Amino acid sequence: MAAANPWDPASAPSAAGLLLDHFVASGMVTQEMLNISKKSASYFANFSRLQQITDIQAEIYQKNLEIELLRLEKDTADVVHPSFLAQKCHTLQSMNNHLEAVLKEKRSLRQRLLKPMCQENLPIEAVYHSDMVHLLELAVTFIERLENHLETIKNIPHLDENLKKMSMALAKMDMLVTETEELAENILKWREQQKEVSSCIPKILAEENYLHKHDVIMPSLPFTSEVHVQTVNAK
């Protein structure tokens, strides 16, 4: 026989029932709240749910651990994976064979390196011939411009000083051009004066010969146009 529920006001009156009736009458507790309190979950149902949650958490932890192991294996695959190790062993073996061949031919290689490599043809596969032509063109262009590029790089720290020197040189060139123009004008004037003097010399010489023939003594005067005019008037 089931025991009476002390929280049920419909059962036999008790102190708890009377207290609940009082709370319901005063409005502090509703009948719905009392009905919800009746439907309590069983302990075994909650325990099974807790066990399921624990199992799911353990499975998640296991999966995370497997993911970390896979990531670690991926990061270290080139060290521990057999296929990568086989490739590395093959590469090392080929390098070892090459070094052994170099050591065997050490004397002949040394003699060949001592000789200048001129007028010799290097074997190149036909697939790379077009690339080699383009590469040689680029190399020739680079070598032609190398000195200019190096000179430009060297002059970069002294660029301001070089600009100042260029400005001073341009100013000096302007002064020299001005002086040259003045000198050219003076030379032209001098040439014109020389032409005038040269044109007057024959006339003066003719007058002197005429005066010598007539025994006329003339004072020594500078060869100017005024003397020439006075001599003509004296005639």
pLDDT digits (tens, 9 = 90+) for 193-204: 888 888 887 777
Sign of the CA dihedral with 56 first, then 62, 66, and 71 last: positive
Give the pTM. Answer: 0.25
Q: Is residue 11 part of a domain?
A: no
pLDDT averaged over every residue in the chain: 76
Q: What is the amino acid identity at position 89?
A: C
Estimate to the nearest angstrom the gap between the alpha carbon of 119 and the chain centroid: 39
Burial group, residue 211, by CB count within 10 angstroms (0-12, 13-18, 19+): middle
Query: Any residues with CB less than 8 A from the CB of 188 and at least 6 apart, and which?
Result: none
**Cα dist from 230 to 119, 182, 221, whole Å:** 92, 36, 11
Q: How much of the chain, in percent, has pLDDT values that exceed 90? A: 16
Tokens of 111: 């003699």
Are 175 and 109 within one domain? no
Q: Structural domain of residue 90, as residue ranges?
A: 16-114
Q: Is the pLDDT of residue 170 over 80?
A: yes
What is the rounded average pLDDT of the residues 45-65?
A: 86
Q: Is residue 29 part of a domain?
A: yes
Q: Is residue 3 part of a domain?
A: no
Tokens of 49: 């749910």
Q: Is residue 134 part of a domain?
A: no
Q: Is residue 233 part of a domain?
A: no
Using one digit for the tens of pLDDT, what is the confidence trace for 74-131?
777 666 667 777 888 888 999 999 888 888 888 888 887 777 665 566 677 788 888 8
Reported confidence tier of residue 178, pLDDT bands at 50, 70, 90: very high
Q: Is residue 145 part of a domain?
A: no
Q: Is residue 42 part of a domain?
A: yes
What is the rounded average pLDDT of the residues 22-47?
A: 67
Number of domain units in the chain: 2
Query: Any residues with CB less than 8 A from the CB of 191 and at least 6 apart, and which?
Result: none
What is d(CA 14, CA 34) in angstroms, rounded to the nearest whole number? 16
Q: Is residue 205 part of a domain?
A: yes
- Backbone phi, then psi, for 213, in 5-degree steps? -65, -35
